[in-house]
Structure 1
Amino acid sequence: MAKRVIWIVLDSAGIGEEPDADKFGDVGSDTFGHILETYPDAKFDNLTKLGLRAIENTSFYDAATKQDVIGVYGKAQELSNGKDTTTGHWEMIGIHTKHAFPTYPNGFPQEIIDAFIEQTGCGAIYGNKVASGIPIIAEYGEEHMKTGYPIVYTSADSVFQIAASEEKVGLPRLYEMCEIARKILVGEHGVGRVIARPFVRKGDGFERTSNRRDYALEPSEHNVLVHLADAGVRVCGVGKISDIFHGSGICASVHTTGNTDGMQKTLDYMQTEPAGLIFTNLVDFDMKYGHRRDTLGYKNALEEFDAWLPKLYAQMTDEDILIVDADHGCDPTFKGTDHTREYIPILMYGKGLKQGTDLGTRPTFADIGKTVEEYLLGSCVDDEKAIGKSFLQDIM
């Protein structure tokens, strides 16, 4: 029977501050821990059976749960210099980001804005400052509806975000502006992502839609996805996976409208893709709840995912391996609205795995990708520029 991996990233579901959290202003952050502290009766039964609460040196560790664990569990520390989506996902597939992507706490330099206005022909922009998406659209939305000038903003992350109305500007034009911005933002101004942030009018205000698109830098070719593609292994991306990797190594991709849709499209791929890698990002945890500091919403979304897991198990074959992890933290109880520098969980399930195996603390997210590579290819590609060490032999 063909080998297959279903790899699901719970975007921002970190499990506690990393040793260098002080360098990022994140001492005290603990996404999963603080959600459980706020809502101790949260129903994470299936995640607990996978080994979530058996992960040692976490605030929610419960030794009594180990006896019922059906999966493999552990955690990983980020080696790269960052705490954003691009850095986290890239490290998972073997890319070490030694120098952090540039950020712009005072807005983008005028030469970047001038080049953007000239090359897009948009006439002018609103914003050019650090802001949260909902407030800045509320601030400039009415004027934007009159002029059509795009709203440009950034955050503590390395992002150039462009907000525009789907009715006034239209999605094709918004995406075109993002593609132009991506070509401008290279070299010293090579931000991790350019993000399209479309919105529509709703009542007296505005509401963002699910038609977001991310335009990442092109990653190094020295990574697990390319190794799989070179070997003829199919990699199918769900959600913003293809965007994050600039399509590198991805042979099929589908965008989603949110977590629920992402979970369904993962099941859909399991019906049509009997082998290879199904790689899913569930963005709502980060975008809708972490950044907006909605602890209840975050808890509810995790409970929804937890309740969905048995549906996924039911479609798994004897050769399938499930991986559930995260890419960084975004503690909804923490200060500000930024990502947080946290360990990520590693939870795995499969009939061929050693039930109850404790992976301990892995030194890099890349160990996960290397394990996927060894499982699907039979061995790891000899690539000195890609980081990570497989732990497959420890868990089979």
Structure 2
Amino acid sequence: MNRIIWIVIDSVGVGALPDAKAFGDEGVNTLGHIVKEFNDIKIPNMVKLGLGNIDGIDYIKNVDSPIGSFGRCNEVSQGKDTTTGHWEMTGLLVDTPFKTFENGFPKEIIDEFERRTGRKVVANKPASGTAILDEFGEHQMKTGDVIVYTSADSVFQIAAHEDIIPLEELYDMCKIAREIMMGEYAVARVIARPYVGPCKGQFERTSNRRDYSLNP
């Protein structure tokens, strides 16, 4: 075998893991909730592969002769970050969870980022990616500051309006943040979060997102 096509559908889970409580994820079941909400979802190829034949998935029909292998896994690595899951699937276990910043990033990190990018930072807190645009998007457009925020995952996210800060500058800022967020401050990913729109309530994130992950 000299070629493998590997498709990862991030965050489409089929139930909580035993340590779900540690991450505030008790009762999660993304696929089950989608089926319950929309009822008639059309995923014929995944059904043929055996998705509905996995133990516990009683909300999708099973097939008599699945054409693929199927199963449900418990993660061994510590943490819940996307990068952690990707690494484990390729055989690299993470013994120590990637660092998260529940109260935003330390002053010395933000000061260094501002010094090296020449841009001021606003927000600097955990937030929803859409809510943070409603809160700071108009300010960002008026001032040219950048919105820096995080989440429950180990991420340093930078949001900027595409008409105010060119994409290449945003990407360069992410590369700078990637260099800063190493060592004791290492995060799994730095993420460029460009958006468009005229005003609060009409901002939309674009497909020009780019992730800068730690090398395994």
Q: TM-score, normalised by structure 1?
A: 0.52
Which stretch of structure 1 is more off in the superposition, 157-166 or 40-49?
40-49
Could you tell me the percent identity over the aligned residues? 54
> 1:187 — aligned with what?
183
1:70, distance to aligned residue in structure 2 (A): 2.0
Runs of 4+ aligned structure 1 residues displaced above 4 Å come to none
> 2:192 — aligned with what?
196
Letter in 2 for 1:144: Q
Select which of 114, 117, 122 maps to 1:117.
Answer: 114
8 Å CA contact retained: 1:16, 1:58: no
In the alignment, does 2:53 pair up with 1:85? no
**Residues 88-107 of structure 1 correspond to what in structure 2 (within 5 A)?**
88-107=85-104
**Counterparts of 2:33 and 2:196 in 1: how far apart (Å)?**
33
In the alignment, does 2:32 pair up with 1:33? yes
> 2:152 — aligned with what?
156
> 1:167 — aligned with what?
163
**Counterparts of 1:133 and 1:61 in 2: how far apart (Å)?**
31
**Residues 62-77 of structure 1 correspond to what in structure 2 (within 5 A)?**
65-77=62-74
1:331-375 deviation digits (Å, cap 9, x = unpaired): xxxxxxxxxxxxxxxxxxxxxxxxxxxxxxxxxxxxxxxxxxxxx
**Residues 215-230 of structure 1 correspond to what in structure 2 (within 5 A)?**
215-219=212-216
1:23, distance to aligned residue in structure 2 (A): 2.3
> 1:48 — aligned with what?
47
> 2:204 — aligned with what?
207
1:14, distance to aligned residue in structure 2 (A): 1.0
8 Å CA contact retained: 1:55, 1:61: no
Give the secondary-structure state (helix, strand or coil) at the position aligned to 1:143. Answer: helix
8 Å CA contact retained: 2:159, 2:193: yes
1:22, distance to aligned residue in structure 2 (A): 2.2
Letter in 2 for 1:155: S
1:100-142 deviation digits (Å, cap 9, x = unpaired): 11111111111111111111121x2110011111121121122
1:210-255 deviation digits (Å, cap 9, x = unpaired): 1111111121xxxxxxxxxxxxxxxxxxxxxxxxxxxxxxxxxxxx
8 Å CA contact retained: 2:52, 2:58: no
Is there any run of 5+ residues in structure 2 with no aligned partner, and where?
none
**Residues 1-396 of structure 1 correspond to what in structure 2 (within 5 A)?**
3-60=2-59, 65-122=62-119, 124-202=120-198, 205-219=202-216
* Alignment coverage as a number of residue pairs: 215
8 Å CA contact retained: 2:159, 2:194: yes
8 Å CA contact retained: 1:16, 1:59: no
CA shift in 2, pair 1:178/1:3, >3 Å? closer
8 Å CA contact retained: 1:54, 1:66: yes
**Counterparts of 2:20 and 2:106 in 1: how far apart (Å)?**
29
**Counterparts of 1:121 and 1:39 in 2: how far apart (Å)?**
47
**Counterparts of 1:97 and 1:183 in 2: how far apart (Å)?**
21
1:44, distance to aligned residue in structure 2 (A): 2.8
1:206, distance to aligned residue in structure 2 (A): 2.0
1:202, distance to aligned residue in structure 2 (A): 4.1
**Counterparts of 1:11 and 1:202 in 2: how far apart (Å)?**
30
CA shift in 2, pair 1:143/1:27, >3 Å? closer
Letter in 2 for 1:207: E
1:59, distance to aligned residue in structure 2 (A): 4.7
Letter in 1 for 2:88: E
1:203, distance to aligned residue in structure 2 (A): 6.4
**Counterparts of 2:101 and 2:32 in 1: how far apart (Å)?**
30
Is there any run of 5+ residues in structure 1 with no aligned partner, and where?
220-396
Give the secondary-structure state (helix, strand or coil) at the position aligned to 2:55. Answer: coil
**Counterparts of 1:132 and 1:19 in 2: how far apart (Å)?**
26
**Counterparts of 1:189 and 1:145 in 2: how far apart (Å)?**
29
Task: Return the structure number with greater strand share.
Answer: 1
1:48, distance to aligned residue in structure 2 (A): 1.4
> 1:312 — aligned with what?
none
8 Å CA contact retained: 2:140, 2:146: yes
* Aligned-pair Cα RMSD in Å: 1.8
Higher-RCO chain (CA-CA 8 Å, sequence separation at least 6): 1
1:84, distance to aligned residue in structure 2 (A): 1.9
**Counterparts of 1:167 and 1:189 in 2: how far apart (Å)?**
31
8 Å CA contact retained: 1:148, 1:169: yes
Give the secondary-structure state (helix, strand or coil) at the position aligned to 2:204. Answer: strand
**Counterparts of 1:53 and 1:127 in 2: how far apart (Å)?**
43
